[in-house]
Chain A
Amino acid sequence: MDILLKESRQKLALLGNEAIVRAALEAGVNFVSTYPGTPASEIGNIFSQIAKNNGIYFEFSTNEKAALEAGIGASFSGLKTLVAMKHFGLNVCADALLPFCYTGSKGPFVLYVADDPSCWSSAQSEENSRAFSYLAHIPTLEPSESQECLDFVKLGFEISEKLNIPVMIRTTTRVSHQSSPVQIGKINLNNNFSKGKFIKEPKRFVTMTPRVLEMKKELIEKIEKIKKLSEKSSINKIEKGKGKVGIITSGVSYLYVKEALKELKMDLPILKLGFFYPLPEETIKKFLKNLKKVLVVEELEPYLEKEIARIAQQSNCKLQIFGKNLIPEVGELKPEIVLVAISQFLGKKISFDFKKHLKDFQKINLPKRYPQLCTAQIAPPGCPYWLVFSALKKVVSENTIIGGDIGCYMIGSLPPHNLYDYLSCMGSSIGIAHGIKKATNQKMIALIGDSTFFHAGIPALINCVFNKSNPLIIILNNQITAMTGHQPHPGVGKTGMAEETTLIKIEEIVSACGVKNLKIIDPQNFEEMVSSIKEFLEKEEVSVIIARRICALLAKKLQK
């Protein structure tokens, strides 16, 4: 971590996420907010350690919408701002993002979003956040490697400063958790946090009809200007090559393309796009003009390919376009997938028999080793959720429905637990439970972690009371945001900068929501847990058990 605060003329091997932090430090960031989520968590983890002594305000916000809105407030007040989140966080804050693009930023603003193709650390969906670029009209840059993470974030701040618009930096797991050499620049920080000033400009910051439509026009004009900037930008680069066959690519896919061409000893022209939105259409036209065939290499949905097809209509309508006919839409790309696709595209043979090798490998058929709750061996006495899960197994009949939510306890959906009947997005265990209770006569238990409860569970709990349903909700209160690496939440009493703050008591929130059946139980009191679940399942109104015991891994960490 110290390395990120030092100067160095030699290249440093940095994680993509570390390079993003360094870029913000070099850009002179004043304000950083986030909600933890893999693969973006390191941003918050690092700032929580270094912000205070380097004149930066940092917070772990209650959720991504609160984080983005805090950042918007800071930008409106003239501060240079970074807001970071995983892809699903962008869904949560979308409501704030769209109007922010209309008003525009004042203090330069970068939104960092990390996607997770192949869902390594993500339940719920394999999201491609690039769709938001179009939806919100937010300029979007896609780095491939750690050096570009640093360069693109700094460029993002520059574009934002010049045109008063937020800029999104979008990575994927293999970029954010890739280590590669970075030539760092100079840090630009103050020792003390200097406050901004909110200057009243209602015409600028109030989105209200009819002004809102003027704003949309202004936004589209800004995007046109950025398009021109994108045409000239060196981050969209044409690498010259031989022949009338070329490749267009971006993000981590570019690295697989380079690797494949090296192996095939081919020298094709490549257009590497740093801008995803807006695209440099003239540059693309110029690239396509003399080509007979082009292959678009991109992960997940073919957003780029569709745009290339549209642009080709205007410059080279005979062009043959290849993309998702050779490259899968589901799952992250891998070097061999791109190598095989390019060799098919070129009609070239490769010496290694990937199919046969895969068959031999599949014959081994080693059983899957799933992630596990911490055992007593790892962190005595073991994860408290083991006990909650056992209590549920003991009590619950076939006909009782159990809903899961997002956190370590997602592991409950895997063997040997196989506990959940549904699992969706943050806060949804309660929201969906309400619907099931209204729609059926079945018994219903919803599990939710404490950080997730603060994040998105409270409105759903209120809905149960308001609209009179009676699920049993078990709040797994391990007193930390555990899965992403022990970040504080509003129920901890410490901020992201380790300052003392009001500890918001979950039981007081639950009571204030109008819940009458409430118990706080230590999961180690197994019999009490079992009898309380039984008792509460018979209630006619919503009931809540707060299963309170500290995360075993955190307890171990605190002892050291």
Chain B
Amino acid sequence: MTKNLEDFNIIIVGVGGQGLITLLKIINKAAQKEGLDLVSSELHGLAQRGGSVEVHIRFGKEIYSPLIKQGGADLIIALEAQETLRACYYASKKKTVFLVNKFINPIIGAEKTLSFEEISQNLQKFSKKTIFVDASEICKKEFSTDVVSGIYLLGLTSAQKILPLKESSLIETIKEIVPEKFLELNLKAFNLAKSY
């Protein structure tokens, strides 16, 4: 992690069941490996049943609050594109980088589903930099499943140097956390992001 960085604040958003908590665990443990102070916050129970989910991860020096403050996110990873907009609460034009999966899960009861252009337009006020990526599509094509699109995005944060953790700490942690039979697939997805 860059030496003069006080703290780094990550929000991951998506829809319940997209594997946000696994990503959180990997980032947490990798940060810990690097000797950083850290705190994260997640939600369980009803909040998780297919609704909007957000988790907070903070690491650096002297970290206290488990929640990131309004406008305080450095990096927002969105596993579902529309949910990106909900995370704008934590974003600011000054510093927030968005990494958005170009995957849409329609909101039941909504009048319409937003297009990527509309999402992108809305982000302008909140984003310093936005990367849209077809993570679900790429993973489906390559592995015939999109369950690893979160890991692919994590690989991309590393490849694009928008997450101040070492690639080696992330890979080591994936090896520790992901069950043996899914490990190869996860590592492949992580590494595939390098060729994006």
Contacts and interface: CB of A to CB of B under 8 A. Distances in A.
The answer to whether A and B belong to the same complex is yes
Interface of A: 11, 13, 38-39, 41-42, 120-122, 145, 173-175, 177-181, 252, 255-256, 258-259, 262, 334-336, 339, 352, 354, 357-358, 360-361, 364, 366-375, 378, 408, 410-411, 415-416, 483-485
B65 A259 contact: yes
B51 interface: yes
B40 A178 contact: yes
A239 to B, nearest CB: 12
Given A334-B70, A361-B88, A369-B52, A13 B32 contact: yes
A426 to B, nearest CB: 14
Interface in B76-90: 82-83, 85-86, 88-89
A180 B38 contact: yes
13 contacts: A11-B32, A13-B32, A41-B45, A120-B46, A121-B44, A179-B42, A180-B39, A259-B69, A262-B64, A352-B92, A364-B85, A364-B88, A366-B86
A262 B6 CA distance: 11
Contact of B38 (A13, A121, A177): A13
| Range of interface residues on B (Cβ < 8 Å) | 35 or more
Nearest to A175: B66
B43 A360 contact: no
Interface of B: 15-17, 24, 28-29, 32, 37-52, 62, 64-72, 82-83, 85-86, 88-89, 92, 107-111, 114, 122, 125-126
A180 B110 CA distance: 37
Contacts, number: 153
B50 A378 contact: yes
A367 B109 contact: yes
A258 to B, nearest CB: 4
A252 B65 CA distance: 8
Nearest to B16: A371
Contacts of B28: 13, 179
A166 to B, nearest CB: 26
B83 A369 contact: yes
A357 B83 contact: no
Given A361-B88, A408-B49, A369 B107 contact: yes
Contacts of B24: 179
Nearest to A358: B70
Contacts of A122: 46
Contact of A357 (B15, B29, B37, B92): B92
B45 A121 contact: yes
A252 B72 CA distance: 19
A334 B52 CA distance: 19
B44 A174 contact: no
A372 B49 contact: yes
B17 to A, nearest CB: 6
A371 B68 contact: no
Given A366-B86, A415-B109, A120 B43 contact: yes
- Interface centre among A357, A378, A410, by most B CB within 10 Å? A357
B29 A13 contact: yes
A120 B41 CA distance: 13
A370 B108 contact: yes
Nearest to B83: A369
A334 B70 CA distance: 9
Nearest to B31: A13
A41 B46 CA distance: 12
B111 A367 contact: yes
A256 B65 contact: yes
Nearest to A178: B66
A84 to B, nearest CB: 14
B41 A415 contact: no
Contacts of A262: 62, 64
Contacts of A339: 69
Contacts of A366: 82, 85-86, 107, 114
B96 to A, nearest CB: 12
- Interface centre among B50, B66, B92, by most A CB within 10 Å? B66
- Interface centre among B46, B70, B82, by most A CB within 10 Å? B46
B68 A121 contact: no
A177 B114 CA distance: 32
A375 B50 CA distance: 9
Contact of B109 (A177, A416, A485): A416
Contacts of B62: 262
Nearest to A38: B45
Which 8 pairs, one residue from A and one from B, show the smallest C-beta to C-beta distance? A38-B45, A121-B45, A372-B50, A371-B51, A335-B69, A371-B49, A367-B110, A259-B65
Given A145-B39, A339-B69, A371-B51, 10 more contacts: A13-B29, A38-B44, A121-B43, A121-B46, A145-B66, A174-B41, A179-B39, A371-B50, A408-B46, A416-B109
A334 B66 contact: no
A357 B70 contact: yes
A179 B45 contact: no
B28 to A, nearest CB: 5
